Every structure is written in C-alpha cells, then in structure tokens.
Amino acid sequence: MAKQLNVELVAVESKVWSGEATAVYARTTEGELGILPGHQPLLGELKVGSEVRVQTDGGEHAWRTEGGFLSVTADGVTILAETAEAVAPAAA
C-alpha cells in the first residue's frame, strides 16, 4: 500500500473534509504546489479564487477557495480557508 497524507480542509465556519489522500494540489501566492507523502514542511498563503484538489484512492475532490493558508507538517496537510465550495474536478 502506498503512503498516504492525512488531510484536513477547514473553512472559517466548519470542517469541510478530512481523510487520507495520495496527493494535494493547491495554488498559493507563490505558485502551484503539488504535495505528496514525505513533502518538506511548509506554510503557504492560498491564492484568492483558486482551487484545492485532493486525490484519494477513490478519486479526486476539489474545492474553490477564497484565501487562507496551507500547512504541511510531518503529520499531514492542513488547509485553513476563508471559504471552500465543492466543485467538480477538471477533466484529465
């Protein structure tokens, strides 16, 4: 079994999603990030009006966010968004 990331997506008023993922993709003010298990710790500011995508063994989930922060630690990925609205992921 491949390594997994523990991911939590939290908006100002509620927990939006949590679970295990194989990858997380987000756009920060510094550019697009792809986070895989074992990624170096970092803290980034989410770009306003961007999308956060979480890949799991069961597919992909996506949310449109309006600002916030993304934190990567040894424990996993935490996304703290001002707002997070579920969207259908882009077709591959």
pLDDT value at residue 57: 94
pLDDT value at residue 13: 85
Extents of the domains making up the chain: 5-87
Q: List the structure tokens of 33.
A: 């990030």
pLDDT confidence bin for 92, thresholds 50/70/90: low
3-state secondary structure of 46: strand
pLDDT value at residue 91: 60
Distance of alpha carbon 6 from the chain centroid: 10
pLDDT of 34-90, one tens digit each? Answer: 999 999 999 999 999 999 999 999 999 999 999 999 999 999 999 999 999 999 866
Query: CA 28 to CA 26: how far, in whole Å?
Result: 6
Mean pLDDT of 14-43: 97
Provide the whole-model pTM.
Answer: 0.91
The β-bridge partners of 16 are none
pLDDT value at residue 14: 92
Query: Domain 5-87 is in which class?
Result: mainly beta
Spatial neighbors of 1 by CB under 8 A, at least 6 apart, are none
pLDDT value at residue 90: 61
